[in-house]
Amino acid sequence: MTRGNIPPFEWRKSSYSTNGGNCVEWAPGRASTTGVVPVRDSKRPTGPVLMVSREAFTGLVTLARGAAI
């Protein structure tokens, strides 16, 4: 599948975006249909998208929660 025929994602900001909403965004709808979680920097909406497995995303969220102050 090429980038040109991938439907647009519905992005959601992280609930940990406390610095004016500039943080990490993810696309939960894509994750539920494919098992792959798109993640991007909200400050760069046209920038690169990291695609990770649901398991990897769960680990990332667990790590972030443990590091939260």
Distance CA 35, CA 23 (A): 22
Give the model's pLDDT for residue 6: 59
Give the model's pLDDT for residue 31: 84
Q: What are the extents of the domains in the chain?
A: 8-67
Q: Which residue has the tokens 């649901």?
A: 54
The residues near 16 (Cβ < 8 Å, ≥ 6 apart) are 23, 24, 64, 68
**Mean pLDDT for each 10-residue chunk of the chain (69 residues)?**
63 70 82 89 89 93 76
Give the model's pLDDT for residue 58: 92
Give the model's pLDDT for residue 39: 92
Phi-psi domain of 68 (left: phi exceeds 0; alpha: psi -120 through 50; beta: other): beta
Distance CA 19, CA 39 (A): 18
